[in-house]
Amino acid sequence: MNPTPYPLGKLPLDISTHGAGIDQLIVYIHIFMAILFVGWGIYFLYCLFAFRERAGHTPQLEEKHFSLPKYVEVGVVLVEVVLLVFFSSPVWGSYKNDFPDRNEALVIRVVSEQFAWNMHYPGKDGKFGKTSPQLMDGTNPVGLDRESENGRDDIVTINNLFVPINRPVIIDLTSKDVIHSFFLPVARVKQDAVPGMEIPIHFQVTQTGEYEIACAQLCGVGHYRMRGQFIVKTPEEYATWMTEQEVELANELGDAPPAETAPAAEATPAAAPAAESNSEEEGK
């Protein structure tokens, strides 16, 4: 087997495309911190020893001026500026802003609740059906209206987030009750899920495996067990899984099983590219 994705006392395995920048920043800033701490620490220990009170030792009372510390302080400022401008801001900027094309990417709605993660896939047509709070209940966690225009083929899973590798993923994150925080340790993704807001995030992963979704915001008694599975598959496996879901759903709703190839007849032009990219991957 692979070595554990969670080595003791270290950053976990990183399977995302943007995570390297974050890890690099974390490593660099800790090196910087260590240098400051050890540098001052050596000076500190030296002082503690050399200037201890003892017979014949007198303190130096005249005002002294040191210029080295000034340079150190200026150095600290410079390093902070560099880290901020060249390491933190670019990574953060692309994390927040450089969204992939919604038509290319796999778009998933994630609706958090006490204490579960509900994943809402748009299904074959690439479009989400209508949802409403009134429809939410135990069997319909995201409040999906199956009768709404694009709702019939939507796939909903609980606590299992399936994504393929090497394809941008966009998650529209929201919550139906309290604030949660959607945390994928191995993908360096974290975003609060705030009720009343739908916040998009994006990432892309490169390595298959079964990982975890953690809740990072206190959300009640079950906060500690609000664990989800983050299942990363190859595109083929992912497509197979998706087809399984579709078949299952069709059986459940009593519809005809979905045809092997998309797009569905009623797909609007906007949805077509997404559907195409789906079928492309299926073809691989």
The binding site for ligand HEA (CB under 6 A) comprises: 36-37, 40-41, 44
Q: How many chain residues bind other proteins (CB under 8 A)?
A: 94
Closest CA to 269 of 138, 90, 127: 127
> What does 237 bind: other proteins, ligand HEA, ligand CUA, none (CB cut-off 5 to 8 Å by kind)?
none
Q: Does 217 bind ligand CUA (CB under 6 A)?
A: yes
Q: Does 167 bind ligand CUA (CB under 6 A)?
A: no
* 191 three-state secondary structure: strand
CB 72 to ligand HEA: min, Å: 8
In this structure, the dihedral spanned by the alpha carbons of residues 15, 16, 22 and 27, taken in order and rounded to 10 degrees, is: 20
Which position among 18, 109, 127, 180 is part of the footprint of ligand CUA (CB under 6 A)?
A: 180
Query: In this structure, how many other beta carbons lie within 10 angstroms of the beta carbon of residue 203?
Result: 21
Which position among 104, 227, 241, 243 is part of the footprint of other proteins (CB under 8 A)?
A: 227
Question: d(Cα 115, Cα 279) in Å, to the nearest integer?
Answer: 34
Sign of CA dihedral 40, 41, 42, 44: positive
CB 146 to ligand CUA: min, Å: 27
> What does 11 bind: ligand CUA, other proteins, ligand HEA, none (CB cut-off 5 to 8 Å by kind)?
other proteins
Question: d(Cα 257, Cα 238) in Å, to the nearest integer?
Answer: 18
Q: What is the DSSP letter of 60?
A: -
Question: d(Cα 247, Cα 48) in Å, to the nearest integer?
Answer: 74
Which position among 167, 190, 223, 227 is part of the footprint of ligand CUA (CB under 6 A)?
A: 223
Q: Does 63 bind other proteins (CB under 8 A)?
A: yes
End-to-end CA distance of the chain: 27
**46/244 with CB nearer other proteins:** 46
> In the window 32-61, what residues touch other proteins (CB under 8 A)?
33, 36-37, 40-41, 43-44, 47-48, 51-53, 57-61
- Using the contact rule CB under 6 A, the part of the chain among 37-45, 75-83, 218-226, 265-273 near ligand CUA is 218-226
**15/242 with CB nearer other proteins:** 15
Q: Does 21 bind other proteins (CB under 8 A)?
A: yes
Question: d(Cα 153, Cα 146) in Å, to the nearest integer?
Answer: 8
Cis? peptide before 263, omega within 30° of 0: yes
Q: Does 219 bind ligand CUA (CB under 6 A)?
A: yes
